[in-house]
Chain A
Amino acid sequence: MSSFKIDIREMSNINVLDLKGYLDAHTAPDLEKVFQNLLERKKYNILINCKDLTYISSAGLGVFMAYIEDVRKNNGDIKLSNMSPKVYNVFDLLGFPLLYDITKDEKEAIQKFTSPKKL
């Protein structure tokens, strides 16, 4: 079995997802379910902590693509933090840093959620 785990923490109005292990075509549906559940509950501020994410393929990246529009329409965002260089390289290759806020750590991402948006 592919080892992939998602832990969810709620901090004020931000839902933090701690991803652990391998995010591929087999495990991406697990992440989709979590996103669906968050959106059903109108939770639109989502922070993905990638500290323990060891691998990501396009199936995993596709999940972020699938939900970002809905989340932003509702004045929320999907931000990502604590990426290893290996995982960041895949995001970077596809130009994701242009579209997503990818921060060094959780603290920086939370600050961006809570501070007023810069134009």
Chain B
Amino acid sequence: MKIHSQTEKLEFVRTFISEAAQQFGFDEDSVQNIVLAVDEACTNIIKHSYEYASNKDIDIRIMTDDHRFEIIITHQGKPFDPKSVEIPDMPAYLASYRKGGLGMYIMRAMMDEIEYKKLPNNITEVHLIKYLRNKISR
């Protein structure tokens, strides 16, 4: 699916991801976790990569392979490497009353792998990967 870089589009993304993850066979908790991670990734792109410009594109694709469920989010905003963000020490973080930066922490906690790819033409891909542990192989 393709959306414009607008926060009001997040609910469509959540519905799209939720349906796909359910169909793939994830349980309710895992579906919620994946949905939240994708919401956070798209929110980061809207806020930080596109800096709230509302007419930019975000492309969201799902690729599945056996037990692997992968969401690929593509944008052409400012590149941002999720791996460059240190995982905060939450008690210290909370004690300092900081706002923001929590999204990355959530993404990492909810997904098995996060990959970041910088492609030509200023294209950035964020890959969010989750494995379905108990899927019966066909």
Contact = CB atoms under 8 A, between A and B. Distances in A.
A25 B46 contact: yes
Interface in A48-96: 55, 57-59, 61-62, 65-66, 68-69, 86, 90, 93-96
Nearest to A97: B94
B120 interface: no
B102 interface: yes
A61 B102 contact: yes
Given A25-B43, A57-B43, A98-B91, A1 B106 contact: no
Contacts of A12: none
B51 to A, nearest CB: 13
Interface residues of A, number: 24
Contacts of A93: 105-106, 109
B10 A2 contact: yes
Nearest to A1: B8
A35 interface: no
Interface string B35-56: 0100110010011000000000
A1 B11 CA distance: 8
Nearest to A93: B109
B10 A24 contact: yes
B76 interface: no
B77 to A, nearest CB: 15
Interface string A17-41: 0000010111000000000000000
Interface in B94-112: 94-95, 97-100, 102-103, 105-106, 109
B11 A65 contact: no
Contacts of A99: 94-95
The 10 closest A-B pairs by CB, nearest first: A26-B7, A95-B90, A58-B102, A58-B103, A25-B43, A25-B7, A69-B97, A99-B94, A65-B99, A66-B99
Given A1-B8, A98-B91, 19 more contacts: A24-B43, A25-B10, A25-B43, A26-B7, A57-B106, A58-B100, A58-B106, A59-B103, A62-B99, A62-B102, A65-B94, A65-B98, A65-B99, A66-B99, A68-B97, A86-B32, A94-B102, A94-B106, A95-B93
